[in-house]
Amino acid sequence: MKLSKTVCVTGAAGFIGFHLSKYLLELNIPVIGVDALTDYYDVSLKHDRLKILEQDNNFKFLNERIENVQAYENLFRELNVNIIVHLAAQAGVRYSIDNPSEYVSTNLVGTANLLEIAKNLQVRHFLAASTSSVYGANTEMPFKETDKCDTQMSFYAATKKANEAMSHSYSHIFGLPITMFRFFTVYGPWGRPDMALFKFTKKMKTGDPIDVYNHGKMMRDFTYVGDLVKAITLLIDVIPARNQPVCSCDSLSPVAPWRTVNIGNAHPTALMDYIETLETQLNLVAEKNYMEMQPGDVPATSANTNLLMELTGYRPNTSIKDGITKFVNWYNKYYPNDQAKNN
């Protein structure tokens, strides 16, 4: 018997896509995972995530770039895909400086293709990842979904802001219900090797210095991945409806069934406190290489999550200590041979 919804998750072998797919499967919701398994980072990590997902008979995997995903439209129709959660993207603020074409291909062309499929399938809800980076040079915090966002500081952020604009046009013209998530510094087990927590942990365990940008004068709204995927899952059934805002803080478009939603912890943490918590969990003291701010980066982020609470009754609440502990436990199990050089 088919369940009421089958969810297509793009980027299913990625960090967030893996966790979301796993969570949906645990709820007995069939998942069609799409991922290109690119070599932006260690592909073996992606394969190991997939091995876990493929243990569930409700999971089907398509190895394909989203730029070419039109070929699977008929298959999506056959499999009764009526929800698309689009997480596939070329990630990374710094990588976008040297490799902008990758972001055009994946983040712009790929998203446009998926919007076409969503329109043709008349899906119940199209949900897609944006980023807190779209707030750019904004300094008034916490960031609200209704804030003006016209000063992106990196090409990565610019492509995500373009995704928001592209999706809004589809929502307006075709009546397609769309929710865009703005993620705030997600971390946790099975994370990407280019993420700060992963890099810090690896270097500290091997006795190498860690790079601390802006001389440590950074604040981030760190969001545990388990909290994030719970919020996404709750939002799947919160389908935007034209001219039906839920509260005064709603970002619902005045001309389309489209909104943006912040997903963050709403408790920004100083970078040095984050590092200190990691040091405690590893029982190691990091050698720190203090550096200037990197191009495209911002000194602070902070999420206003009132809209998420109004829509779902939920706020992310995992503490930094608990989240880092879970990451370290996973890291030690997955990389048992990493150890300090002086051990």
Q: What is the pLDDT of residue 22?
A: 98
- CA dist 333 and 327 (Å) reads 10
pLDDT of res. 95: 75
Listing DSSP states for 5-30 in one string gives -EEEEETTTSHHHHHHHHHHHHTT--
Q: Choose between 94 and 60: higher pLDDT.
A: 60
Q: Is residue 288 part of a domain?
A: no
Do 269 and 187 meet the contact criterion of CB atoms below 8 Å apart?
Answer: no
Say how many CA atoms lie within 13 Å of 160 toward its Cβ. 31
- Cis link prior to 254 (omega < 30° from 0)? no
Q: Which of 235, 254, 220 is nearest to 308 (CA)?
A: 235
Q: What is the pLDDT of residues 14-37, one digit of tens each?
A: 999 999 999 999 999 999 999 999
Rounded mean pLDDT, 301-326 = 96
Q: Is 283 left (phi over 0), alpha (psi -120 to 50) or beta?
A: left
Q: Classify residue 169: in a domain, yes or no.
A: yes
Close Cβ partners of 106 (under 8 Å, ≥ 6 residues apart)? 65, 66, 67, 88, 89, 90
| pLDDT at 121 (0 to 100) | 93
pLDDT at 289 over 80: yes
In sign, the C-alpha dihedral spanning 49, 126, 95, 305 is negative
The answer, yes or no, to whether residue 338 has pLDDT greater than 80, is no
**CA–CA distance, 98 with 82 (Å, rounded to integer):** 37
pLDDT (tens digit per residue) in 95-109: 777 788 888 988 999
The 3-class SS string of 134-151 reads HHCCCCCCCECCCCCCCC
Confidence of residue 78 (pLDDT cuts 50, 70, 90): confident
Quote the CA–CA distance of 216 and 174 in Å, as a whole number: 47
Whether 75 maps to a domain, the answer reads yes
CATH of the domain at 47: 3.40.50.720
* Average per-residue pLDDT for the chain: 92
Give the pLDDT confidence score for residue 70 in this predicted structure.
72
Residue at 238: amino acid letter? V
**pLDDT reading at 214 higher than 50:** yes
- Helix ranges (H only) for the chain are 15-26, 43-53, 73-78, 95-98, 100-103, 111-121, 155-174, 196-205, 225-236, 271-282, 306-312, 320-334
Share of the chain above pLDDT 70, in %: 97
Q: How far apart are CA 97 and CA 93, in angstroms?
A: 7
Per-residue pLDDT reduced to its tens digit, 217-261: 999 999 999 999 999 999 999 999 999 999 999 999 999 999 999
Residue 331 lies in a domain: no
The set of catalytic residues is 156
Q: What is the spatial distance between Cα 215 and Cα 180, in angstroms, rounded to a whole number?
A: 33
- Amino acid in the structure at residue 237: D
Other Cβ atoms less than 10 A from the Cβ of 285: the count is 11
Q: Domain span at residue 92?
A: 6-187+222-264+302-317
Kindly tell me if the per-residue pLDDT of 40 is higher than 90. no
Regarding predicted confidence, which is higher, 339 or 134? Answer: 134
In angstroms, rounded to a whole number, what is the distance separating the alpha carbons of residues 113 and 67? 7
Q: Tell whether 211 is covered by a domain.
A: no
| Per-residue confidence (pLDDT) for residue 4, from 0 to 100 | 60
- Examine residue 85 and state whether it is found in any structural domain, yes or no: yes
pLDDT at 340: 55
Q: Kindly tell me if the per-residue pLDDT of 122 is higher than 60.
A: yes
Summarised one tens digit per residue, pLDDT across range 180-195 is 999 999 999 999 998 9
> What pLDDT does 339 receive?
66
Residue 343's pLDDT band (boundaries 50, 70, 90)?
A: very low
Inform me whether the pLDDT recorded for 65 exceeds 60: yes
Backbone angles phi, psi at 24, to 5 degrees: -65, -40
Q: How many domains does the chain have?
A: 1
| Percent with pLDDT over 90 in the chain | 79
pLDDT bin (cut points 50, 70, 90) of residue 77 is confident
Q: Is the pLDDT of residue 114 over 70?
A: yes
Q: Specify the amino acid at residue 54.
A: E
Residue 114 lies in a domain: yes
Q: Indicate whether 38 belongs to any domain.
A: yes
Pull the structure tokens for residue 218. 């950074």
